[in-house]
Homo-oligomer: A and B are copies of this chain.
Amino acid sequence: MKEFEKNIRKVVPYVPGEQPKIRNIIKLNTNENPYPPSNLVKKAIENFDSDTLKYYPDPTMEKIVAKLADYHKVSKDMVFVGVGSDDVLAMAFMTFFNSQKPLLFPDITYSFYDVWAELFKIYYKRIPLDEEFKIKKEDYYIENGGIIFPNPNAPTGVFESLDTIRNILDNNKDVVVIIDEAYVDFAKESALSLIDEYDNLLVVRTFSKSRSLAGLRLGYAIGNPLLIKYLNDVKYSFNSYTLNALSMEMAAASIDDEEYFKETIKKVINTRENAKKTLSELGFEFADSQSNFIFAKHKSFSASIIFEKLKKNNIFVRYFNKERIDNYLRISIGTDEEMDKFFECLKKIINELD
């Protein structure tokens, strides 16, 4: 090791799902939306004056902050915007979780949480989910330096009721509690309705899933103005201008097309419910998903084998070689056509294994 390496922060990074460059694949591995973004996004690009790129973008991101505030019926000082919800969450970890007591999150959850904790040297504790991948709320009554979990959870798709969230908040008023709602538009209800009641609650959202804009990189957080102020202080101490000028226009255009947004979500949910039936018929078991993916294991056959066989047929799903979930596949919901092809291939694989 060279001498200058001694002062280097050494971390094991998060590994995102594959983004294969070959064509003619069916991509059900990174929970993207199978439908394109709103036509208004296309128009926003067409109408954009590229000459204005010579200027720095508005550091306050006023246009998109105001749109989001209006959309969610909160004040502008309750909205924080970042480069995808990963950026928002990274900033939130850095801002809020600086306790000597452990940060708590489920043992089966978004696999970036422990990566951020390691990066920022945050002490953390994984709290096991029950056998049905549900949160046991009493486990979160212990002393802690903060709490975070996704709802619906990833990669399980399991949704926790607002009663559970309220109970956890009631028992944790002295720490910041983050509900990571990347997939909530595919579920029943959002914790945003609790924002006014709990000043230590931060709800994080993204344009990557329900808005078909994973390629745009836009995420946001909503919380009381005090939390948002601290978050902005850290953000402005990191990078003044994170969101580019054109991205703000595209994001604003997406919000303007509520009809298309709702229609797309409806289609994904319909396909998901049909997929649940077919998966059951094929011998898969899964907790009920309220997201745009299904986390399933087969009664008889190994997930890793099915994963590899699907991949050979140019169908990509996600497989995590991790404790408790190493026999599961996470299958993102595609279009009906994509799902038909997926199930056709899956049936063939199951028959061959049988």
Contacts and interface: CB of A to CB of B under 8 A. Distances in A.
A11 interface: yes
Contacts of A53: 36-37, 41, 212-216, 250
Interface residues of A, number: 90
Contact of A7 (B42, B115, B145, B250): B145
- A35, A215, A240: residue with the most chain B Cβ atoms closer than 10 Å: A215
A251 to B, nearest CB: 11
A245 to B, nearest CB: 4
A352 interface: no
A54 B83 contact: no
Contacts of A118: 237
A86 interface: yes
Given A4-B173, A41-B50, A56-B30, A244 B215 contact: yes
A179 to B, nearest CB: 15
A119 interface: yes
A196 interface: no
Contact of A50 (B45, B55, B226): B45
Interface string A67-111: 000000000000000011011001000111111000000000000
Interface of A: 2-17, 19, 21, 27, 30, 32-37, 41-42, 45-46, 48, 50-59, 83-84, 86-87, 90, 94-99, 115-116, 118-119, 145-146, 173-176, 199-200, 208, 212-217, 226, 230, 232-247, 250
7 closest A-B pairs by CB:
A13-B236, A36-B51, A3-B174, A53-B215, A215-B245, A16-B240, A7-B99
